[in-house]
């Protein structure tokens, strides 16, 4: 019965154990073709429940919701991810599978900001040098994360030798991508690790161009003045650091015109080193 396997509420472990022991169909398919194991992973219940289902014969390389493999479901949910992944790997789960979006497990772990799961996959010989269809490496994805996960993951990837100078299909390096997201700690880490502060993409944009674009967007879409938001203040800090570190600003930025977009006065002042 569907209700018997409804794990969207706190599971009754004794009841589930009894059902498994008495031959309940552990591979029954319900809504969106999900098995009890998939529902357990998406619901984030304790790894003991996953272990119980595995010991009862649940297949660890099965998929459910729109073809999402079990390991990907575990990574995406976050709750007790490492413990659950260890159980699945021990019981034969494939760590090199990709999901319906063609994303490998290690990339999903990076995007979720889960460094402990990342370490586990690297220990299991996942390729830290992988690239996606746009030729972005894992650092390109890691630099988009917030704190404290972003800096930790970037540091881990740098230590593992992931290429700081790798360019995607637009000739954008991880450092240029980082400039768009305003995380000063990640930007400093990349520079101190050897990134070129005056890198440019295929349009000739450097880090200051990317930061300026992000500041213009922040100013355009906020309901309150962008200069009052913490994110905007983070961009100001990035600009100041880049200028102090000899990143060369564009004449177009300083003149108030940027790709035919009028730059707000506070953005120009930031690039001129004038504090509000």
Q: Domains in the chain, please, with CATH?
A: 1-101 (1.25.40.20)
Report field, pTM of the whole predicted structure over 0.85: no
- Give the pLDDT of residue 276: 47
Say which residue, 157 or 244, is predicted with more confidence. 157
Own/partner contacts of 152-159, CB < 8 Å, gap of 24 or more, are 152/115, 153/110, 153/113, 153/115, 153/118, 154/186, 154/189, 154/190, 155/189, 156/115, 156/118, 156/119, 157/110, 157/128, 158/189, 158/190, 158/193
- Give the pLDDT of residue 4: 45
**pLDDT tens digit sequence for 124-134:** 989 999 999 99
Instruction: Name the pLDDT band for 200 (thresholds 50, 70, 90).
Output: very high
Mean pLDDT of the chain: 76
Q: Is the pLDDT of residue 7 over 60?
A: no
164-173 average pLDDT score:
97
- Give the pLDDT of residue 1: 38
Give yes or no for a contact between 35 and 64, defined as CB atoms under 8 angstroms apart.
yes
- Structure-token pair, residue 272: 């001129």
Say which residue, 255 or 117, is predicted with more confidence. 117
Closest by CA to 121, choosing from 150, 97, 152, 146, is: 97
Instruction: Name the pLDDT band for 212 (thresholds 50, 70, 90).
Output: confident
Give yes or no for a contact between 104 and 121, defined as CB atoms under 8 angstroms apart.
no
Q: Which of 36-40, 178-182, 213-217, 250-254 has the lowest mean pLDDT?
A: 250-254
């Amino acid at each position: 019965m569907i209700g018997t396997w409804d794990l969207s509420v706190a599971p009754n472990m004794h009841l589930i154990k009894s059902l498994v022991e008495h031959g309940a169909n552990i591979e029954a398919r319900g809504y969106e073709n999900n098995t009890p194991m998939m529902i357990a992973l998406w619901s984030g219940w304790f790894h003991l429940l996953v272990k119980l289902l595995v010991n009862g014969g649940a297949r660890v390389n099965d998929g459910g919701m729109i073809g999402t493999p079990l390991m990907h479901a575990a990574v995406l949910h976050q709750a007790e991810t490492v413990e659950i992944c260890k159980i699945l790997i021990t019981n034969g789960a494939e760590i090199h599978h990709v999901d319906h979006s063609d994303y490998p497990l290690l990339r999903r772990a990076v995007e979720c900001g889960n460094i402990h799961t990342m370490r586990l996959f690297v220990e299991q010989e996942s390729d830290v040098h992988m690239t996606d269809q746009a030729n972005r490496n894992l650092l390109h994805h890691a630099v988009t994360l917030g704190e404290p996960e972003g800096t930790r993951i970037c540091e881990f990837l740098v230590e593992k030798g992931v290429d700081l100078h790798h360019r995607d299909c637009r000739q954008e390096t991880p450092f240029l991508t980082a400039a768009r997201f305003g995380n000063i700690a990640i930007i400093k880490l990349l520079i101190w690790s050897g990134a070129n502060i005056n890198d440019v993409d295929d349009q000739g944009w450097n880090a200051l161009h990317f930061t300026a674009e992000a500041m213009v967007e922040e100013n355009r879409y906020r309901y309150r003045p962008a200069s009052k938001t913490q994110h905007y203040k983070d961009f100001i800090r990035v600009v100041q650091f880049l200028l102090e570190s000899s990143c060369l600003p564009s004449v177009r930025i300083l003149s108030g015109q940027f790709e035919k977009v009028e730059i707000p006065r506070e953005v120009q002042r930031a690039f001129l080193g004038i504090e509000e």
